[in-house]
Amino acid sequence: PLASNKVSIKLAIFYTIILCALAFLVLINFNNLTIILALGSMPLAFTYPLMKRFTYWPQLFLGITFNYGLILGWTAIQGEINVVAIIFYLGAIFWTLGYDTIYGFQDIKDDEIIGVKSTSIKFKNKPKNFVSTCYAFLIFSILIVGYMMNYSYFFYVSLLITVAHLFFYQIKFFNSKDPSLCLRVFKSNNLVGLIIFCNILIEKF
């Protein structure tokens, strides 16, 4: 909206203040650790949009920022951070690093022209190798979490669905030269998230 002049800078600032105020009203209902960690995430959120100017790893920064809520959700319920939450968080970061690299190939030509950076540009010669590595770290982290949480065998069997989707659909059909296909593969990560969520939810019953 700002770039297209549909929203003025003053109005954008006003909206930001209102949203931050509402978020703060929600935040103060949580425990002290969650409040402190949430406030600590604000610099990440405000600096992420600038990362493409300085580093080829803005997708990594997005993963750190975007998945921060996983830590907050854990501390809000448990009142502490433990190694399970950290491992799951790291896995989610790699997941974001992978799928946002796929997303970045839609605009790679424009990004190269204007001089911004991304992992899509950095790994444009071997994109499938890079994304596969990211997804492998995600699966490995989920396996560790499942083991540490004493999940049943059903959890690991169900995880095969996630593996199949990531490697036999996304990686197989992903084509960095086809923007529309990149978008389709990127959007399919909604299904990945749903499957992982359902697998964990089932273990709670």
**Which segment of 43-47, 81-85, 87-91 scores lowest on mean pLDDT?**
43-47
Q: How far apart are the first and last CA of the chain?
A: 44
How far, rounded to the nearest angstrom, does the alpha carbon of residue 22 sit from its chain's CA centroid? 24
Long-range contacts, 29-32 (Cβ 8 Å, 24+): 30/72, 30/76, 31/75, 31/76, 31/79
Q: The tokens of 135 are what? A: 């997804």
User: Confidence class of residue 23 from pLDDT cuts 50, 70 and 90?
Assistant: confident
Residues contacting residue 193 through CB under 8 Å, at least 6 positions apart:
none
User: Confidence class of residue 154 from pLDDT cuts 50, 70 and 90?
Assistant: very high
38-64 pLDDT tens trace:
988 888 888 988 999 999 999 999 999
Q: The tokens of 90 are what? A: 């790291």
R_g (Cα) of the chain, nearest Å: 19
HSE-CB at 36 with a 13 A cutoff on CA atoms is 7
Long-range contacts, 114-120 (Cβ 8 Å, 24+): 116/52, 116/53, 117/52, 117/53, 117/54, 117/55, 117/56, 117/58, 118/52, 118/56, 118/58, 118/59, 119/56, 119/57, 119/58, 119/59, 119/60, 120/59, 120/176
Q: How far is CA 98 from CA 27, 120, 128, 138, 194, in A?
A: 30, 10, 9, 9, 17
The pTM of this model reads 0.90
Number of Cβ within 10 Å of residue 35's Cβ equals: 17
The overall average pLDDT reported for the chain is 93
